[in-house]
Structure 1
Amino acid sequence: MKITPIVVASGNGAPGLAAGIAVLRKGGRALDAVEACARVIEADPSDTSVGRGGKPNVLGVVELDASLVDGTDHRAGAVGALVGYLHPISVARAVMERLPHVMLVGDGAARFAAEIGAERARLLTPSTRRMWVERLAKARETPASVRRRAKLAPVVAKTVGEERGTVNFIALDRAGDIASAVSTSGWAFKYPGRLGDSPIVGAGNYCDTRYGGACCTGFGELAIRNVTAKTAVDRLASGMSAAEVARRAIADVNALDDAAFNIVVLAADGSHAAASNRTERRYAWQRADMDAPELSVREVVPLGAR
């Protein structure tokens, strides 16, 4: 059976699809395609949920998380709370390929990034710094006062909101192999060191070439509690359609909380779907035979739906 390569993504991933499709059109691997896609968004300061220009933690430090999964053998790499480097997705891939580990975090992730010569960057932009200062002001804090605080938890209770954007990509290549990638700056104005689902393989990111892949955005703590991405792929393996898998994933999350949550699903046959518990949320996709990405509306799964 002839396979038409495809990449699906969260809606904010649309600008990165051309890079991945270019890889796939040349017969390249799905793993290379999703990394290429993610790097585009990581370098774009206009996306305040990923990479350069990502919203910082409560102390004004941009901490980046990313993971990448190769569906052919379930190899994976991840980094968490990485500071000062532009492309966490490439550092995550290097963890997978150069170390006997799956994940590095914090100082260890930064040390390894320096060791491999990863590109350094000043991640906090003037725009996101203003957002941080304004959010602190609402909590009756300033950059100086919050940095003096011995206890940050009371401040974080006032600074965090629904800003939890992330970018994700799942690709199917000409050989029929699948790979997935997720990159994020995490929950805006979070407690330092917080990790959500994005770097957690099986929670926010998982794929298996035999069945498909799934990636999540939104309230990552819920994906961790539900092991959402792995559960989605297991459901594909059981014979469920991509659309049904996406619906069930959102219903599972809704049973825990009413926080915003989204999922994209790509099946091994190239069919795809996405769902959300919020209205007017979109996802992006592009086949190798298409000239431009398509933005499709995610199915809405309201609270109480099963």
Structure 2
Amino acid sequence: MLAGATANAEPTFSAPKKPVLITRETGDHSVEEAYQMLLQGEDTLTAALHVCAAREDDPADHSVGYGGLPNEAGVVELDASVMHGPTRRCGAVGAVPGIRHVGQLARTVMERTAHVMLAGQGAHDFAVAEGFVAENLLTEPARKIWLLWKEHGRGFWGPGLDSPDFKLPPDAQRATPPGAISQLPRHPAPEDMPLVKQQIERGLALAKEAGIPESLHRTAVRELLWPTTGTINVSALNPKGEISSATTTSGMAFKIPGRLGDSPIVGAGCFVDPEVGSAGATGNGEENIKVVGAHTIVELMRQGRSPKEAGMEALRRIAKNYNNDMSRLRYLDMIYYILRKDGAYAGVSLWSTRGIESRKKFVVHDGTQRTEPCEYLFEGTTLSIHPF
């Protein structure tokens, strides 16, 4: 509960009466298990990492850990960061090959070294020295999806979306000229959805030609058109008002080797201020780094913004970086998961849907686990940056 605020003083937040946990949909029992851990007095970071580990262990989750989609060379590189509110410490790892539980590895960096971040082979070697098991994280389904992308996808070399030299794909539809967000349409142009459907139909045919099992066709096409930006962020809060957060990911699918997104960047993909709350992100990491999204959201809450208001302001800053040019913003996506120290929360997204899927959602557990729709800045869908 917001205890009080004046024009000259920061607001203070009292602890909730019961634990609160926020994350993305997981499809498993880990959220309920983590909540029970909080009820039993377990450390908040331990509870958050329990949910992360379940995703890192699931080979069907192509955005995290074992089964994550590889970089363009076919190597699975993982990133993670953690922030432990009770001790105000943090740890992170980036571009780590061959280590599944990088969320726990980030915590080990925090607890066992004088550093905040380790990366690449050095992070891998540190993990092995600390008893982590080195293994091949590329599963057969992920390998087949990667091969399909190698043959028909588009790489990340060349000017980025934010470059004046970037050329929009030939099938791009200019939704509107640059302008104020208040002037932007709330609905996608009518021609967009048929375009997306055509790309999906073409992708399904390519997946069949490539010999990918039918059960994986739609997954393969989804990754070909909208390469996983994946990730899972988990924030956990207990009745003492202690809060921690963790983010783990296999990063942008088919990325250039060594690429780091926002997930291992403390303040971008994950941030905790024990006096205010936490925030984390999934989506286009490069865009989130530019606005230091998680830190920005927490600071806005410190100034008195609600979780929803703070998250929407961070999304507006992403849009402003493109001068609110919808023809480019249609190729970006971002979701923020926000938890304030008093238990108030929000899930906000740049776009209301991804591809032709349903409304973006998030999971919250405050004694009752449920899925809620994200509030969004623009109604419509992210278009594919990787047309065939």
Give the TM-score, by structure 1 length.
0.89
Q: Which runs of 5+ in 2 are unaligned?
A: 1-14, 162-168, 170-223, 323-328, 353-358, 380-388
- 2:300 equivalent in structure 1: 235
Q: Secondary structure at the match of 2:290?
A: helix
Between the aligned partners of 2:157 and 2:377, the Cα distance in structure 1 is 33
Moved more, 206-215 or 6-15: 6-15
| 1:128 maps onto 2:132 in alignment | no
| 1:260 maps onto 2:333 in alignment | yes
- 1:213 equivalent in structure 2: 278
Between the aligned partners of 2:123 and 2:27, the Cα distance in structure 1 is 24
- 1:40 equivalent in structure 2: 54
Q: Secondary structure at the match of 2:86?
A: coil
Between the aligned partners of 2:291 and 2:154, the Cα distance in structure 1 is 35
- 1:6 equivalent in structure 2: 20
Larger Rg: 2
Task: Give the 5 Å matches for 1:1-306.
Answer: 3-12=17-26, 15-139=29-153, 153=157, 161-257=226-322, 258=329, 259-279=332-352, 280-287=359-366, 289-290=367-368, 293-302=369-378
Letter in 2 for 1:102: V
Going from structure 1 to structure 2, the CA distance change for 1:15 and 1:217 (only over 3 Å counts) comes to: farther
- 2:176 equivalent in structure 1: none
Residues 261 and 285 in structure 2, CA contact (< 8 A), matched pair in contact too: yes
Q: What is the aligned length?
A: 289
Letter in 2 for 1:265: I
Structure 1 residue 25, shift from structure 2 partner: 1.4
Structure 1 residue 136, shift from structure 2 partner: 0.5
- Deviating runs (4+, > 6 A) in structure 1? 156-160
Structure 1 residue 73, shift from structure 2 partner: 3.8
Q: Secondary structure at the match of 1:111?
A: helix
Letter in 2 for 1:212: G
Letter in 2 for 1:273: A
Structure 1 residue 192, shift from structure 2 partner: 0.1
Give the TM-score, by structure 2 length.
0.71
Going from structure 1 to structure 2, the CA distance change for 1:226 and 1:77 (only over 3 Å counts) comes to: same
Going from structure 1 to structure 2, the CA distance change for 1:241 and 1:139 (only over 3 Å counts) comes to: closer
Using the aligned pairs only, state the percent identity: 37
Residues 16 and 343 in structure 2, CA contact (< 8 A), matched pair in contact too: no
Going from structure 1 to structure 2, the CA distance change for 1:47 and 1:2 (only over 3 Å counts) comes to: closer
Structure 1 residue 109, shift from structure 2 partner: 0.3
Q: Which runs of 5+ in 1 are unaligned?
A: 142-151
Between the aligned partners of 2:225 and 2:67, the Cα distance in structure 1 is 17
- 1:145 equivalent in structure 2: none
Structure 1 residue 199, shift from structure 2 partner: 0.3
Structure 1 residue 37, shift from structure 2 partner: 1.2
Between the aligned partners of 2:225 and 2:122, the Cα distance in structure 1 is 26
Going from structure 1 to structure 2, the CA distance change for 1:266 and 1:140 (only over 3 Å counts) comes to: closer
Moved more, 34-43 or 179-188: 34-43
**Alpha-carbon RMSD:** 2.2
Structure 1 residue 13, shift from structure 2 partner: 7.4
Q: Secondary structure at the match of 1:277?
A: strand
Structure 1 residue 153, shift from structure 2 partner: 3.4
Letter in 1 for 2:289: I
Between the aligned partners of 1:160 and 1:196, the Cα distance in structure 2 is 19
Going from structure 1 to structure 2, the CA distance change for 1:243 and 1:68 (only over 3 Å counts) comes to: same
Residues 77 and 251 in structure 2, CA contact (< 8 A), matched pair in contact too: yes
- 1:144 equivalent in structure 2: none
Structure 1 residue 2, shift from structure 2 partner: 5.8
Letter in 1 for 2:247: V
Q: CA offsets, 1:66-114, max 9 Å, x none?
A: 0000123431010001111110001100000000000000011001100
Residues 57 and 100 in structure 2, CA contact (< 8 A), matched pair in contact too: yes
Residues 166 and 182 in structure 1, CA contact (< 8 A), matched pair in contact too: yes
Letter in 2 for 1:225: K
Residues 76 and 138 in structure 2, CA contact (< 8 A), matched pair in contact too: yes
